[in-house]
A and B are shown apart, each in its own frame.
Chain A
Amino acid sequence: MVKCAIGREREVAVCLMQKCIDRGPELQIRSAIALDHLKNFIYIEADKEAHVKEAIKGMRNIFTGKIMLVPIKEMTDVLSVESKAIDISRDTWVRLKIGTYKGDLAKVVDVDNVRQRATVKVIPRIDLQALSNKLEGREVPKKKAFTPPARFMNIDEARELHIRVERRRDPATGDYFEKIEGMMFKDGFLYKNVSLKSLSTQNVQPTFDELEKFRQPGETGDGDMSSLSTLFANRKKGHFMKGDRVIVVKGDLRNLKGWVEKVEEDTVHIKPNEKGLPKTLAISDKDLCKYFEPGNHVKVVSGATEGATGMVVSVEGHVVNLVSDTTKELIRVFADNVVESSEVTSGVTKIGDYELHDLVVLDDNSFGVIIRVESEAFQVLKGVPERPDVALARLREIKYKVDKKIFAKDRYKNTLSVKDVVKILDGPCRGKQGPVEHIYKGVLFIYDRHHLEHAGFICVKSESCMMVGGSRANGERNGNSFTSKFSHLRTPPRVPTSSMRPPRGGYGGHNNFGGRGGGRGHDALIGATVKIRLGHYKGCKGRVKDVKGSTVRIELESQMKVVAVDRSHISDNVNVTPSRETSRYGMGSETPMHPSRTPLHPYMTPMRDSGVTPYHDGMRTPMRDRAWNPYTPMSPPRDNWEDGNPGSWGTSPQYQPGSPPSRAYEAPTPGSGWTNTPSNNYNEAGTPRDSGSAYANAPSPYLPSTPGGQPPMTPSSAYLPGTPGGQPMTPGSGGLDMMSPVVGADSEGPWFLPDILVNVRRPGDDTTPGVIREVLPDGSSKIALGSSGNGDVVTALPNEIEVVPPRKLDKIKIMGGAHRGATGKLIGIDGTDGIVKVDDTLDVKILDMVSLAKLVQA
C-alpha cells in the first residue's frame, strides 16, 4: 500500500500502466489497484519492495516515503468489497443528503441509471416571498440559515405574488407540471431531479407523520399499503422474537399467520397456523410482519408514542390501531414498534412539578387543566368555556400551578367547590354531569368519564351549571348535609368523627374538613389521626385537616390550634399504603416496588407516602450498625434501583453475613431481583474483595461489599469511618508489610558475635572493655575482660554490653545484615555509615555503623 496524492488514485494507477507499457519488463510490478473509497492510497502488487520503489521513482503523485506491506489474506477483503450498491428503484423511500431538503423524506419517481440521476418527489420548502422578491428585482437578504418549513405548494398563492407560473408538459412522463423558476410542481409536491449519489437509501425510517403527509393529496389507503410495503422491504428489521405472532405479507404465502420459532440472520422460522403445512417454515424476515389480534394488550416500544400501552382494536397491514390505556385515544403505530405485553402503564404523568390533571397558569396568563402529558410537553385544556381550546404547552411555558381552594356559585347561587357534582345546563356539553376538579376565575373544570374528548374534562362557566345534590348554604355546620352531599366522596368514615367534634366549636376547620375533602390524591391522609414526630409540635397528636403539597395542616388534639407541619414530620398510626396513587403515578410494573422505596425515606424526605414511618424507625437501627457513612453505600443502590437494574442488588446481599437483622429488613423489598442475583452479585462483590488493593483505596460503593466475604467480625471494623489503617488487620495485611521497612537489622538489633570488642557495664562498675568470647543461647555472652581479651571471663547480659564503635582502618566484624559474621576493614566513615571492605569477597560495602564492631583477634 502506497501513499499518493488525494483524489489522484485512479490517475496514478493509469500512469503506472502507461509506464509499464513504455518500460516493458524493466518495471517488475504486477498490478496497481485504486479503490474508490480509499483516499490517498493505492495498492501495488509486486514481488519485492524494491520493485515498487523502482516503479514509483520519478512519479509525481506518489510519495515514496510510505510503503506498507499488506498480507495477501487482507487483500482478498480489499478486492471483494464492492457489491454494496442497492439499485434504487421506483417508489422507494429515500432521504436527500444535501441541499435545502437535506434529511427530508422523498419518494423516487423515476430512475435514470445511465446518467445516475433520479427524479424524486418531496414536500416543497419554498419561500414564496423571497422568490417573488427576487423576480421583481428587489434585494433579497441572504437568508441562508433559514429553511422554509415544508408545506405543500399552493399555485394560486404563487400567482398572487406575481410569480410566473407555467404549465408545462414533461416529455418523459406526459404529465402536466407547473414550472416555477425551473422547479417542477405537481399536486403540491416538488419533483426534483437529483443525482443518485445524493440520496441515501439505507435505514430510511419514515415516521408516521411523514408518511401521512405524503399520503395527503388524494392518495387513498391503498397507496399507503404499497408505499409501506416498499418501505419495509428496505428496512432493517431485527426484532422478531421467539413467540411473536407474525403474518406473511409478501410472496405466495401471503396472509399466512404463525408463531416465530427461531430467528436467524435473515430468515425467520415460523410455525404456521394452518394444517397441512410443514411444522416450520423458513421465511425471509422481509416478508414477515408482526401481527396482533384485536383484543391483545400491547406496548409500544419505539417511535413517537413509545411507552404507551393499550389494546389493539384493529390491524391494517403494517399498521396497528390501538386504544391507549392512559388517554383512551386511538393510536396508530407500525406493527414493528409494538410488542405484546400485559403491562399497563400510566405513562408519564408528571414532568417537573406539574402532574396530570393539574390546574396551571401559563405564560400568557391563560389557565387550564393538563389533560395529557407527553414526552416533553403538556396538553392543556384552556379555561375558555365557549369552545374547547387545547393548547400544547412546554414545561417552561407554565408559570405556576394553582392549588387554591376557590369557591364559585352555580346558577342557583349554590356555593360550589371542588369535588361537588354538578350538571351542565348550557352549552355544547349540556346534560353532562360530573365532579368539579378545579375552579378558577369563575370557570369550572368538570371531569366526566363518559366524555370522550380531552380526557374527559369539560370547561364551563359556573353559572351554566347546577349543583346536583341540593343547596349547601348552612347545612355544613350541622353536619347533617354531609351524608347526603358527600356520599360520593370517601368521607363516610369521617362523618361520625366530625359529629363528635362540634363540641369543640369555633373551628372553621370542621366545615372545611367536610367541604374541602382534601386535595385530590391525599384523601387517605385527611381525617387520619397522626402523631407529629418532628418539629416544634413533636409528640402531639392531631387530625389531618388538609394537605397541600408537602405540608399538612393538622388540628392538634391538645391545643386549640391548627398547625402546618411538613409531611415528613408526621407518622400516622394507620398504615396506609397509598397504592392508589402508585397505580397512577408509579410505573406500572413497579408498583410492588413502591413500599420498597421506604428504605430511602430518610434520604429523600418529601415522599408522598405516609406509610413510611413504621419502616422508617425500624430501619434506622440496623443502618447504624452497618455503616457509619450511611449515605455512601446507599446511594449506589438507590440510583441503580431507579433503573430497576437487577445488578444493583449486588450491593444489598452483602449485608447478609454481616447483620442478620438486616436481612430480615431487606426482605420486604421486592425479592424479585434479589433472589436471582445473590449468586451473580457475589461474584461482582467478589472481585473487589479479591484484589488486595480494594482495601487500601476502597471506593466508597465498595466499602460495604468488602466485608461480604469476611468473617462477621470485620464489618464493624471495616466500617469505622476513615480508618484504612484499621483494615490491614484483615487479611489484607500485605499492604502493611510493604509499608514496614525492610526486615533487617534495625528491628531486631545487632546480635553479638564473638571476637568483638565491647564495653561491659556492670551495675556499680565502670565500663570495662572486653572481648566477647562466646555468645550464649539466651543472649548473654562470655566476655574476657581487657582490651585484648586477656582478662577474666565474665558473663554479661546483652543490656550490659555495649559494642565499641570501630574507627577508621580498624578491622571489623559485621554483626547485622546480609553479611553478618563476615570480617573486613573499615576504610572510611560517612556520617552514620561505615565503608567496609569485606575480607572474603573484597567487596566494598556501606553499612550502618551500628552493625559494625571492632574485631579483636584472639
Chain B
Amino acid sequence: MVNQGGGGSVAVAQIPTSFGHELRACLRCRLVKTYDQFRESGCENCPFFQMEDDHERVVDCTTPNFTGLISVMDPTRSWAARWLRIGKFAPGCYTLAVSEALNPDLQNICEEEHVPYVPPKRV
C-alpha cells in the first residue's frame, strides 16, 4: 500500500511548485511544470526531447500559453484523462489545451520515436 503511494508501478510526474508565469506546458504531452522543473528533470512522458541536457529545448518544447489545468491521479481509470488522450501518460498535472503546435523538427523526432503526437485543434 505504501509503495503504491509513490504512484504504484508508474512514476508520478512532478507537480508544479508554484503558479506564476513560470508554469509551462509540454507541447506534446501537455504536462505542466515550472520552467526550472523542466530544466532539471525534463518531461517524464517525452524523455526523447532531452530537455535536461539542452536548456534551449525547454523553450522550444514547452509554452506558457495554455488553458485549463487538470490533475490526473489515475489516468488509466479516469474518463477525463482518456478523453483528453492523456490516459497513457504518467499521473500529474496536465493542461486541457496548448496554444501552438510543435516545431516540424521536433515533430520529426516524435515520428522517429514512434510516439504519437496530436497538434492542437485550431478553430
Interface residues of A (CB under 8 A from B): 9-11, 13-14, 16-18, 20-25, 27, 29-36, 43, 45, 72, 75-76, 79, 81-85, 87, 113-114, 116
> B1 to A10, Cβ gap below 8 A?
no
Residues of A within 8 A of B44 (CB): none
A789 to chain B, nearest CB (A): 91
A178 to chain B, nearest CB (A): 31
A25-B16 contact given A14-B93, A45-B79, A83-B97, CB 8 Å threshold = no
B48-85: contact bitstring with A at CB < 8 Å (1 yes, 0 no)?
Answer: 00000000000100001101111111100111110110
In this complex, the member of B15, B71, B78, B83 whose beta carbon has the largest number of chain A beta carbons within 10 angstroms is: B71
Q: Tell me the total A-B contact number using a CB cutoff of 8 A.
A: 113
CA distance A14 to B14 in the complex (A): 11
Contact of A32 among B7, B67, B70, B77 (CB under 8 A): B70
Residues of A within 8 A of B92 (CB): 17
* Cross-chain pairs A/B with CB under 8 angstroms, 11 sampled: A14-B15, A14-B71, A17-B91, A21-B15, A25-B4, A29-B73, A30-B77, A31-B71, A34-B69, A79-B84, A81-B96
> B73 to A20, Cβ gap below 8 A?
yes
B114 to chain A, nearest CB (A): 27
> A83 to B68, Cβ gap below 8 A?
no
A10-B19 contact given A17-B93, A30-B74, CB 8 Å threshold = yes
B100 to chain A, nearest CB (A): 8
B75-114: contact bitstring with A at CB < 8 Å (1 yes, 0 no)?
Answer: 0011111011000000111001101100000000000000
A17-B15 contact given A31-B70, A34-B68, A83-B97, CB 8 Å threshold = yes
Residues of A within 8 A of B79 (CB): 30, 45, 72, 75
A36-B70 contact given A25-B1, A72-B79, A79-B84, CB 8 Å threshold = no
> B96 to A18, Cβ gap below 8 A?
no
Interface residues of B (CB under 8 A from A): 1-2, 4-7, 12, 15-16, 19, 59, 64-65, 67-74, 77-81, 83-84, 91-93, 96-97, 99-100, 120-123
Residues of A within 8 A of B83 (CB): 75-76, 79
A83-B80 contact given A10-B19, A34-B70, A36-B68, CB 8 Å threshold = no
A295 to chain B, nearest CB (A): 41
Contact of B71 among A16, A23, A82 (CB under 8 A): A16
Residues of A within 8 A of B70 (CB): 13, 31-34
Q: Residue of B at shortest CB range from A25?
A: B4
Q: Residue of B at shortest CB range from A84?
A: B123
CA distance A31 to B94 in the complex (A): 10
Residues of A within 8 A of B59 (CB): 114
> B93 to A13, Cβ gap below 8 A?
yes
CA distance A714 to B54 in the complex (A): 95
CA distance A32 to B94 in the complex (A): 10
Extra contacts besides A11-B19, A34-B70 (9): CB < 8 Å = A21-B15, A30-B77, A30-B79, A36-B67, A75-B83, A79-B96, A82-B68, A85-B65, A113-B65
> B74 to A24, Cβ gap below 8 A?
no
> A45 to B68, Cβ gap below 8 A?
no
Q: Residue of A at shortest CB range from B70?
A: A33
Residues of A within 8 A of B120 (CB): 83
CA distance A29 to B72 in the complex (A): 9
B18 to chain A, nearest CB (A): 10
> B69 to A30, Cβ gap below 8 A?
no
CA distance A694 to B73 in the complex (A): 64
CA distance A113 to B77 in the complex (A): 36
Residues of B within 8 A of A87 (CB): 99
> B65 to A35, Cβ gap below 8 A?
no
A31-B15 contact given A83-B123, A85-B99, A113-B65, CB 8 Å threshold = no
Residues of B within 8 A of A76 (CB): 83
> B80 to A10, Cβ gap below 8 A?
no
A317 to chain B, nearest CB (A): 28
CA distance A154 to B85 in the complex (A): 57
> B19 to A31, Cβ gap below 8 A?
no
Residues of B within 8 A of A82 (CB): 67-68, 96-97
| Smallest CB-CB A-B distances: 3 pairs | A24-B5, A82-B97, A17-B71
Contact of A31 among B7, B16, B78, B99 (CB under 8 A): B78
> A116 to B64, Cβ gap below 8 A?
yes
Residues of B within 8 A of A81 (CB): 96
A31-B80 contact given A13-B93, A82-B97, CB 8 Å threshold = yes
B56 to chain A, nearest CB (A): 13
Residues of A within 8 A of B74 (CB): 30-31
